Chain A
Amino acid sequence: MSPPLVEVSEISRSYSMRSGMFGRSTAVRAVDGVSLTIPKGETLGLVGESGSGKSTTGRIVLGLEPPDSGEVRFDGKPMAAPGTAAWRAQRARMQMIFQDPLGALDRRLPVAAQIREPLDIHGLGTPDAREERVRELLRAVELTPAHGARYPGALSGGQRQRIVLARALATKPDFLVCDEPVSALDVSIQAQVVNLLCDLQAQLSLTLLFISHDLRVVRQISNVVAVMYLGRIVEIGSADDLFARPEHPYTQALVSASPAPGRRSAGRIVLAGDPPNPAARPQGCAFHPRCPRAIARCAREVPALAAVGGNRQVACHLVTGAETRDAA
């Protein structure tokens, strides 16, 4: 395996949430002791509950937000302090593609100018070379110069996301955090963008952190997949294996709830109970109020993420290595 480009150890991040009327403030543990390693040129997929801290993890990994505790290392070195020259040099090697393409673009500027912006900021190439690079990037995401001349509001959602992708690739980054990069795209273009990302990744040996709710797309593009629930990783393993044989009850529900044409909801695990409240994290296993397999111990003890054989790690009292694996 190639050396890791990104190493995340035990990062945590809390937000304080005001409680309007009474002025009390509660801490929301958005990310709670997350560790991840992404080898150079590989893709780590991050899936999980809405609000489980995936985007927050992405922002911390990029150094857009500091963790309260824990550390992120990029290419063997700790992330430099925000605002320093070293930080800027590191940041130029990383880019992010956001969840909301319209929010990520400036409505008052033609999109070609926005693709060009990072080249101007980092002073890359002559003005002519920058123009040529913009055309090349538009071609790479299968749009035309005519699209480049438009404002974001005059493009469809999918077209806008390709502009965001082109802009992220402008500085030839080593590391890309993609937060729901294809969720706004229809399937035929999604397939092109996923193929495009796979190709670009191979050509440029890009390292990716790929956040998405679309398990199919995540499986397609990832080497390893981590599943998050209420700020923690509850299962991690190789992409094919994880989706074929999910071990954690939440992952099992997630995989079974993933809709498929031609398959009606028969045999689906439908979770009971409310989605979790991050401000009032359940004691013990955070999933226990919704877990169909919970036992008494689950309400008391937090299960630790532990290796269960293969390269799989699971945080569940009922999944404990050898026996479960053999039984499977």
Chain B
Amino acid sequence: MTPLVSIAGLSVAFSGVPVLRGVDLAIGKGEALGLVGESGSGKSVTWLAALGLLPRHAKVSGSVRLDGREILGAPAAELDQVRGGRVAMIFQDPASALNPVLTIRRQLCEALSLHRDLQGNAVKAEARRLLDLVGIPDAGRRLEAYPHEFSGGQVQRIMIAMALAGNPDLLIADEPTTALDATIQAQILELLSTVRRELGMAMVLISHDLGVVAENCDRVAVMYAGRIVEQAPSNQLFADPVHPYAQGLIGALPPLDGPRRRLTAIPGTVPDPAKMPDGCAFAPRCTLASEPCSRAAPTLAPIADGRAVACIRAEASRRALLGIAAE
């Protein structure tokens, strides 16, 4: 089956500084893929690049196919149809994605008339239905309100309504529930999964909340410094992370019960994209790093069915497992 979207060798550089360094990723129809990873690792940029939303000075290369058709570098008119239509994106900074001087009704109706064949009262009724759908109470009246009159969490729900306006095949949700309390978050994620089931919509869920990703995604990709370092089915990743960065990430989660302890933060910071170390980008922070790690960047290699890891140690253990002698 051709994947809905397949990204290959996607690279992005800003003013000559590479921030995405060869991302390969495929999403099947109706699939839910989680994208987690270090702040600044390129999770947002991956999708901004794929949808042609980066500023001009960004140098983008590689390939992004939607149903087998190349969309990277496609003409603006074609991309306008893709964005908000077949592929919708909920942005990370909701306040900056809504226009503060227009009512919610204006903004929703604009999105609807752009991507749906609706006229007049039907547009308004649909706008109202969408607000209802995402659980904004008193939707009819609230349509006339401006973004600043909503709480942070309500703004986020409005963003989801806007994204659903075009009946997308793929929803890129960049931190869609960060500003919501757990009970509403649970309802929103439930809502997204219902919509997904009904419309067969695929979803990429970008989130810092490993719990949210674990519960809502079939598969998870972990990013570090512009690359994918581990890919696995959700349950396996969280039960048994292989890449040292993924292990650190899961270990840094504060517990909700038991004694409080100082959090085990991963030491150090992400390398400056302008001064990327040779070899494995995680080596300066990795407790397992050894001399060969700094020679060549490990590639993402399969270690089991549906699992792939970019770490020399994982390769070594896989070789041991398969009884292949190390060269």
Cβ–Cβ contact B182 & A254, under 8 A: yes
Q: Given A103-B93, A259-B182, A187–B256 Cβ distance below 8 Å? A: no
Q: Does B119 contact A (CB under 8 A)?
A: no
Write out, one digit per residue, whether chain B residues 182-197 have a CB within 8 A of any chain A CB (1) or not (0): 1111110010000000
Stretch binding the partner chain, chosen from B134-142, B292-300, B310-318: B134-142
Q: Does A257 contact B (CB under 8 A)?
A: yes
Complex Cα–Cα for A272 and B121 (A) = 31
Q: Does A156 contact B (CB under 8 A)?
A: yes
Cβ–Cβ contact B214 & A216, under 8 A: no
Q: Does B92 contact A (CB under 8 A)?
A: yes
Q: Given A102-B93, A102-B95, A220-B263, A262–B151 Cβ distance below 8 Å? A: no
Across the interface, which residues of A come within 8 angstroms of B235, CB to CB?
A: 262
Complex Cα–Cα for A255 and B183 (A) = 9
Across the interface, which residues of B come within 8 angstroms of A123, CB to CB?
A: none
Across the interface, which residues of B come within 8 angstroms of A158, CB to CB?
A: 38-40
Write out, one digit per residue, whether chain B residues 159-203 have a CB within 8 A of any chain A CB (1) or not (0): 000000000000000010011111111110010000000000000
- Residue from A188, A194, A271 having most chain B Cβ neighbours under 10 A: A188
Cβ–Cβ contact A219 & B178, under 8 A: no
**What does DSSP make chain A's interface, helix, strand, loop or mixed?**
mixed
Q: Given A99-B152, A180-B152, A220-B254, A275–B249 Cβ distance below 8 Å? A: no
Measured CB to CB, the nearest residue on chain A to B235 is A262
Across the interface, which residues of A come within 8 angstroms of B138, CB to CB?
A: 277, 279-280
Measured CB to CB, the nearest residue on chain B to A20 is B144
Cβ–Cβ contact A47 & B181, under 8 A: yes
Q: Does B272 contact A (CB under 8 A)?
A: yes
Cβ–Cβ contact A187 & B181, under 8 A: no
Complex Cα–Cα for A268 and B209 (A) = 18
Q: Does A109 contact B (CB under 8 A)?
A: no
Across the interface, which residues of B come within 8 angstroms of A295, CB to CB?
A: none
Q: Does A311 contact B (CB under 8 A)?
A: no
Q: Does B262 contact A (CB under 8 A)?
A: yes
Cβ–Cβ contact B265 & A192, under 8 A: yes
Measured CB to CB, the nearest residue on chain B to A147 is B272
Across the interface, which residues of A come within 8 angstroms of B141, CB to CB?
A: 17, 19-20, 279
Complex Cα–Cα for A147 and B23 (A) = 24
Across the interface, which residues of A come within 8 angstroms of B255, CB to CB?
A: 216
Measured CB to CB, the nearest residue on chain B to A53 is B151
Cβ–Cβ contact A275 & B137, under 8 A: yes
B39 partner, pick from A186, A244, A279, beta carbons under 8 A: A186
Write out, one digit per residue, whether chain A residues 240-278 have a CB within 8 A of any chain B CB (1) or not (0): 100110000010011101111111110010110011111
Measured CB to CB, the nearest residue on chain B to A227 is B181
Task: Tell me, rounded to whole Å, the shortest Cβ–Cβ distance linking A275 to chain B.
Answer: 5
Across the interface, which residues of B come within 8 angstroms of A213, CB to CB?
A: 178-182, 185
Task: Tell me, rounded to whole Å, the shortest Cβ–Cβ distance linking B240 to chain A.
Answer: 10
Task: Tell me, rounded to whole Å, the shortest Cβ–Cβ distance linking A293 to chain B.
Answer: 15
A261 partner, pick from B150, B181, B185, B250, beta carbons under 8 A: B250
Across the interface, which residues of A come within 8 angstroms of B68, CB to CB?
A: none
Cβ–Cβ contact B215 & A259, under 8 A: yes
Q: Given A216-B253, A254-B182, A186–B36 Cβ distance below 8 Å? A: yes
Measured CB to CB, the nearest residue on chain A to B45 is A156
A-B contacts, 21 listed (Cβ < 8 Å)? A18-B145, A19-B141, A99-B179, A156-B40, A159-B40, A180-B178, A186-B41, A187-B249, A192-B265, A195-B262, A198-B262, A216-B253, A216-B256, A240-B260, A243-B257, A250-B183, A257-B182, A257-B186, A258-B211, A259-B186, A263-B211
Given A50-B184, A55-B152, A216-B256; 13 other pairs, CB 8 A cutoff? A15-B149, A18-B144, A19-B144, A50-B153, A100-B94, A146-B272, A158-B39, A183-B175, A188-B245, A216-B255, A259-B209, A259-B214, A262-B235
Closest 4 CB pairs of A and B: A158-B39, A50-B153, A20-B144, A259-B211
Chain B residues in the interface with A (C-beta under 8 A): 14, 36-41, 44, 92-96, 103, 135, 137-138, 141, 143-145, 149-154, 175, 178-187, 190, 208-215, 235, 238-239, 245, 248-250, 252-257, 260, 262-266, 269, 272, 274
